[in-house]
Structure 1
Amino acid sequence: MPRKPSNIVYSAHEKPPLGTLFALGIQHATLALLFLVYPLVAAEEAGLSFADTQVLITSCIIFMGIATIIECWPKAGAGMLLVQIPNTPHLPLAVQSLSAGGLPLYAAMSLVASVSQLSLTRFTNALRAVFPPEICGVAVTMLGIALAPPALRRVFGLAQESGGLVDTRYLMVSFITLFIIIALAIFSRGLLRLFAVAIGAGAGWLIASFAGIAPTPADTFAQLPYVDIPRIGFPGFAWSWALLPAAILTGFISAVDMISTVVSMQRMDDADWRRADMEQAGRAIRANTFADMGAALTGGFASASSSAAIGVAFATGATAWRIGIIAGGVILLAAFSPKLVGALTIIPTPVVGAILIYASAFLIVAGMDLILSRRLSDRRIFTVGLSVLAGLTVALLPEVVHSTPDWAQPILESPLSVSTAVAVLLNLFFRIGIRQEASLPVTLGDNAFQVTTEFLEQQGDLWGARRDVIAAAIPVVAEAVETLLDTETAAGALELRARFDENNFDVTLLYQGEAIEVPTLRPSPEDLLGDAKAVARFVGYMLSKRADKLVIGMEGERQALSLRFEH
């Protein structure tokens, strides 16, 4: 069992009291349902009818609930608190598919995306190298940037029928909604903070009604029952070869997004976290994929694990998977209320814009945090910078996209797709010429600490190792180098060799001389006043405690002292 961090009250495998369990579950479910604005945006952009929008939303709710239960159940999914929300990377694909061929075309393209997402689980170990944290960070950052245009259009009331004129009423409602959400999230405590989004949306809806910009429910809305059996069904399939590349890429991006979410939860729940458990990430992707297939076959919008739910889990200090089971059940029950689903389809446009702005800001900062979790060499700086610029290019210069062939436009219209694809390709390209092993000679006249620091920091930047791992390795390796040279255990010089493989950061000291002893019991402090061998024994004991693994052996005719730091 991982060691629980001090800020976590109920960790993944702990069982909160029943009342707390239900309260936290309902809270997560409420937040997840608010993010139904994503498929609503897609339906509005595509001009779907009220009936088709109802099917899209109802099926999405059902499989959000099912996916949440599967994800959180230890024997079925990842066994961690992964509450599902509508999948934001699906927005560009959904808008294009629904506009071109309605629910049948989106169902087919969503199924293709699910299959491509599932295919990546066959290579979970290789994904660690293909999708390092900075690449996941680019995807998450551009996910937030991709939400900005539809969000800002709704904030300023720049609908097509407005002729491009700013409606100050929309701006007022959006500003007040966003202000309430942010103020409660920052300055309040308890339930007010936890339900900041819900309270802000409710207040914004009320103000929009007074301002006369709340949408009028369709005639069919009044006829919807409060409780009824969900009406979903197979929408049929349509096909578009032009959208096929976008569907495949959407699946890959969804997998990257899932990996990022799982890594965030792992880091939050383990005080000693060092590296991603890709097997757990693979289980999470598989569970999400099967739910997405069900949604596609019933005309629904795809789902994915919620970054916002991670923020709520951090704020409450509760990451227990049982909370997710309750949340999934509550989400499922919501599908049995057509009136509730219908109400969600008529959320005022400026309120939707404010919530999207909130989500966009959260995702942009979360992506930057992932990017900066690794040491950045020139290669990685250009990988991140150029991929973000590529995404911004298609967002700011749509005429560039329109000048490309018809088959490429569905792919290039999405800043998220472009930036993620460019980041992956640049990451693979810039890996060319990088050796996984490097060495440096060190002599008695060198400053051991300075030489070790410069060498390990340089290699850490080049390999993109975690900052904390390099920082922890430097004093340990420097102490070993200094001891071997100063005590004349090494005959005047040694070779400092480092190796990195994404799982471990290994440093080996090769020298001519005697092997140092590593006692199993702690030597007495008086040994530091003894001869050189006694000092070496004391340092050997300390090295065995400060490194994750210490191995002493031979490499040819030289002694080899190997220090391992788990990455």
Structure 2
Amino acid sequence: MSQKPQNLVYGVEDPLPLPTALLLGLQHVFVMATAFIFPVVIVRSFGGTAEQAVFMVTMSILAGGVGTILQALRKGGMGSGYLCPAVCGPSYLSASLLAAQTGGLSLVYGMTAVAGLFEVFFSRLMHRLRVLFPAEVIGVVVALVGIAVIPVAVPNFLGIAPGDSVTEALELLVAGVTLGTMVAISVWSRGKIRLYSVLIGIAFGYILAAATGILDGAAIARILDAPLLAFPDLSHLGWSFDAALLIPFIIAVLCSSLKSIGDLTTCQKINDADWRRPDMRNIGSGILADGSSALFSGLVGGMGQSTSSSNVGLSVGTGATSRAIAFAAGALLIALTFFPKLASVFVIMPSPVMGAGLVFVAAFMIVNGLQIIMSRMMDTRKTFVIGFAFIFGLSVDIFPEFFIALPTSVQPVFSSSLALGTATALILNLIFRIGIARRKTLRLEPGTDFSDTVFSFFEAMGGTWGARKEVIQRAESAVNELMEAIVFLGLTRETVRAEITFEEDSLDIDVRYPGKPLDLSPGGAPTDTDLLEDENALARLSAFLIRKYADVVTTDVRDGECRIRLHFDH
């Protein structure tokens, strides 16, 4: 059972009143609207019609609603059970553009459905792939997910768009007021108004954009002219397949899955105050929902779906992570499919307002990634894994012209800082695992200054293993206290041998020495009076501390050799 963090107003399992759920769901839909542009880009890439663009956007919204609900489920292995909405996945953009230019939208839809099937298959393997995703790799992915939002967030914040490279003072004013409102409510507000910080900020942004003319009459006319109720025109639907596009789409879906792993890990972390490591089975269920939404999107005529990092950041910023919000947001998205007038409100969102919302949520994603990285101890190997992943990943955004001439089949890997940085981290993690022993032997001599040896050993191995610092500190304290008790009580003059075994979920220390056994039977701590008057009090204090440090302590004696086993949950 996860422990709800104190900073959450509504935790993942908390029920919400219907009006609250709908308002918070609406807030998430506004953030999700930033991804509606991707289908438009795909249609325009091959000279498609406005009707085709409207159809693809509409069906992508429908798929996003279904995917958001599937992700919030927790039945039969489907869904992670978290608020982690589905949106048009940027990882699919390069492959979808290639398919659109090769065979039109029917090829995009067919290949997207095939990619979804591949992700469904991949999800069944997730629990066997824990070795690929230690905390530092997951942390890099989560941080890069936030960083990958920057190239979209900052140009929109500055009011920069294709054909418009000039930032106007009024655009900066709208962006600044929108972001300032979100931040002010999040930092200084009291009560539950913090839950609606982004929604209130966006509302102020719309009003100010309309007052300053950034939201012009043509945009408002689009809302007025749109029909209130309409059903999608299914004449645009069709499917085709091209084996030559399998590699680009498989690369795209792998990049999308890795991004989703980062998003779902963040969901686990922000919903559990005692979070220690990613739950790969839960993530596998989440990837199954992700793949199912991509499959559904391809079948109904939408773009490939993936979990939304921005919405995960929003849930952190507002302190509302209840999956009831996911059901509300999903229902609203499905409703938008049949109410074009309502959908138009999101389509005309002013760029500065959109940029302000993205900047707000990206900050939380980046910091969460760094927190996951620093939850484990570092050594030179892990420094290289993390450092090189950030360096090469960010090179895509800093020097995009260096990667233009690469073959189209591998373009998805080099399409964003997230894709390349994640690939770098995964490869280097596997390379640097070479030579790491999960079992080490520590020999200590009772007549020497063993404390430095104990602490140096555990600090070095903790970094090599990427262990949690708190566990390593308890382990080294327990072994040092054990040695001091052995020396103080004169239990042996021979070498004390400790076999240390590390696994991702445990640290076990098997201490052996020839001599007299140490009494570690349960008991309370000695009082101050006991320490002054009872000659056995120090031994009782050592036993108490050792049991306090370790999660499980067992002892036995065989053929004159004493054995003490210390187990630490990791």
Tell me how many residue pairs correspond in the alignment. Answer: 562
Q: Give the conservation status (yes or no) of the 8 Å contact 2:92–2:249.
A: no
Quote the residue 1:149 is aligned against.
Answer: 151
Cα distance in 1 for partners of 2:236, 2:512 equals: 66
Q: Which runs of 5+ in 2 are unaligned?
A: none
Quote the residue 2:33 is aligned against.
Answer: 36
SS in 2 for 1:484: helix
- Quick check: 1:548 aligned with 2:545? no
Counterpart mapping for 1:280-359 below 5 A = 280-310=282-312, 313-314=315-316, 319-359=321-361
2:476 counterpart (462, 474, 483): 474
- Quick check: 1:82 aligned with 2:83? yes
Quote the residue 1:386 is aligned against.
Answer: 388
Superposed displacement of residue 345, structure 1: 1.8
Q: Give the conservation status (yes or no) of the 8 Å contact 1:83–1:328.
A: no
Superposed displacement of residue 515, structure 1: 3.7
2:276 counterpart (255, 264, 274): 274
Superposed displacement of residue 324, structure 1: 3.5
SS in 2 for 1:36: helix
**Greater CA drift, 476-485 or 43-52:** 43-52
Superposed displacement of residue 425, structure 1: 0.5
Counterpart mapping for 1:201-240 below 5 A = 201-214=202-215, 216-217=218-219, 222-230=224-232, 235-238=237-240
Quote the residue 1:565 is aligned against.
Answer: 568
- Give the letter for the 1:121 counterpart: S
Cα distance in 2 for partners of 1:258, 1:114 equals: 13
TM-score by length of 2: 0.86
Quote the residue 1:56 is aligned against.
Answer: 56
- Give the letter for the 1:141 counterpart: A
Superposed displacement of residue 316, structure 1: 6.2
- Give the letter for the 2:454 counterpart: T
- Give the letter for the 2:72 counterpart: C
Cα distance in 2 for partners of 1:227, 1:209 equals: 25
C-alpha change, 1:322 and 1:361, in structure 2 (3 Å) is: closer
**Greater CA drift, 536-545 or 451-460:** 536-545
1:460 counterpart (444, 459, 462): 462
Superposed displacement of residue 63, structure 1: 2.9
Query: In angstroms, what is the RMSD of aligned CA positions?
Result: 3.4
For each residue in 1:292-329, what CA deviation from the matched residue of structure 2 results, as whole angstroms up to 9, or x when unmatched?
A: 21112112234444455555555666554444434433
TM-score by length of 1: 0.86
Identical aligned residues as a percent: 29
Superposed displacement of residue 381, structure 1: 0.9
C-alpha change, 1:114 and 1:312, in structure 2 (3 Å) is: same
Quote the residue 1:263 is aligned against.
Answer: 265
Quote the residue 2:189 is aligned against.
Answer: 188
SS in 1 for 2:82: coil
Quote the residue 2:497 is aligned against.
Answer: 495
C-alpha change, 1:233 and 1:371, in structure 2 (3 Å) is: farther
Q: Give the conservation status (yes or no) of the 8 Å contact 2:313–2:365.
A: no
Cα distance in 2 for partners of 1:393, 1:253 equals: 17
Cα distance in 1 for partners of 2:316, 2:394 equals: 31
SS in 1 for 2:163: helix
C-alpha change, 1:7 and 1:184, in structure 2 (3 Å) is: closer
Q: Give the conservation status (yes or no) of the 8 Å contact 1:107–1:237.
A: yes
Cα distance in 1 for partners of 2:90, 2:490 equals: 60
C-alpha change, 1:361 and 1:510, in structure 2 (3 Å) is: same
SS in 1 for 2:521: coil
Counterpart mapping for 1:407-556 below 5 A = 407-520=409-522, 522=524, 536=539, 539-540=542-543, 542-553=545-556
C-alpha change, 1:470 and 1:112, in structure 2 (3 Å) is: farther
Cα distance in 1 for partners of 2:352, 2:279 equals: 40
SS in 1 for 2:283: helix
SS in 2 for 1:408: helix
Superposed displacement of residue 460, structure 1: 0.8
**Greater CA drift, 372-381 or 272-281:** 272-281
Cα distance in 2 for partners of 1:271, 1:143 equals: 22
Cα distance in 1 for partners of 2:154, 2:200 equals: 21
